[in-house]
């Protein structure tokens, strides 16, 4: 998938879904690092891609959380 398509999908997710996605990416990243340490396949590009996607997810969570707090304080 292209970066723009991934970002569009991530932006449409709720904070809870983003947290689940982050957990999934953490697990995937762990598995890729483990494979790399065993010397199985070339996974450096995959590790880099997963790390960047995880950072994007965390960024979106940070952007969406203040919106939730602002809504709560107005009520």
The domain that holds 41 is classified in CATH as: 1.10.287
pLDDT at 62: 93
pLDDT in tens, 5-40: 888 898 999 999 999 999 999 999 999 999 888 888
Q: Domain range spanning residue 62?
A: 3-74
pLDDT in tens, 42-59: 678 999 999 999 999 999
Does pLDDT of 71 surpass 70?
no
Sequence-ordered list of residues with C-beta below 8 angstroms from that of 15, at least 6 positions apart, any chain: 61, 64, 65, 68
Residue whose entry in the numeric block shows the structure tokens 């979106």 = 60
State the average pLDDT over residues 54-68: 88
**Measured CA distances, 19 to 4, 23, 32, 64 (Å):** 20, 6, 20, 12
Q: Which two tokens stand for residue 50?
A: 């997963």
Q: Which two tokens stand for residue 34?
A: 């483990």
**DSSP tag of 39:** T
Q: Say how many domains are in the chain.
A: 1
């Amino acid at each position: 998938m292209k970066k723009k398509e991934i970002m569009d999908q991530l932006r449409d997710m709720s904070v809870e879904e983003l947290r689940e996605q982050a957990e999934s990416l953490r697990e995937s990243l762990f598995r890729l690092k483990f494979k790399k340490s065993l010397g199985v396949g070339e996974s450096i590009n995959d590790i880099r891609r997963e790390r960047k996607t995880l950072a994007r997810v965390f960024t979106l969570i940070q952007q969406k959380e203040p919106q939730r707090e602002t809504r709560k304080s107005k009520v």
